[in-house]
Structure 1
């Protein structure tokens, strides 16, 4: 558990590489903030919780400053700190 009690925000974590990163971080003990624009973020957060780990899901459009601010605020509200940010979301 190399990431025990670390708080990680993973953008674009609803599917693909982002999802796998979120699951891997959770397996290593991290508390995960699962963000995505697709609506699949809740499924990933639930999968993490079923592993016995902590996670929250946020629908976030990282191209919008107000969403990025809300993402940080919600992470701090839920877990009290942010240790890791993985900017995985693609903007196109």
Structure 2
């Protein structure tokens, strides 16, 4: 578990490469903030991961949304180790 104990935010994690990356990070031991503009798909990804993940709806073109995204991860898990910018 190379990512054991790490906290990651992955944008665009609702589908495709973002979803697969979120699943891989979780399998490697990371806690994952699943960030996506598509609430349905993002929640599905978080549910696939389970307790080691939560979903946050984010429009990465909005500075306020991106600040809220980082703050949510830090509030939940106390820090942020990895920011994977996959959206777009």
Tell me, yes or no, whether TM beats 0.5.
yes
Any idea what the Cα deviations from partners look like across 1:27-65, whole Å, max 9, x if unmatched?
00000000000111111111101xxx5111000001000
Alpha-carbon distance in structure 2 between the residues aligned to 1:20 and 1:6: 17
Alpha-carbon distance in structure 2 between the residues aligned to 1:72 and 1:32: 12
Task: Give 3-state SS (helix, strand or coil) of 2:12's partner.
Answer: coil
Q: What is the count of residue pairs matched by the alignment?
A: 87
The residue correspondences of 1:1-92 to structure 2 (distance < 5 A) are 1-39=1-39, 40-49=41-50, 53-90=51-88
Structure 2, unpaired ranges of 5+: none
Structure 1, unpaired ranges of 5+: none
Q: CA deviation at 1:78?
A: 0.6
Q: CA RMSD in A?
A: 0.7
TM-score w.r.t. the length of structure 1 is: 0.92
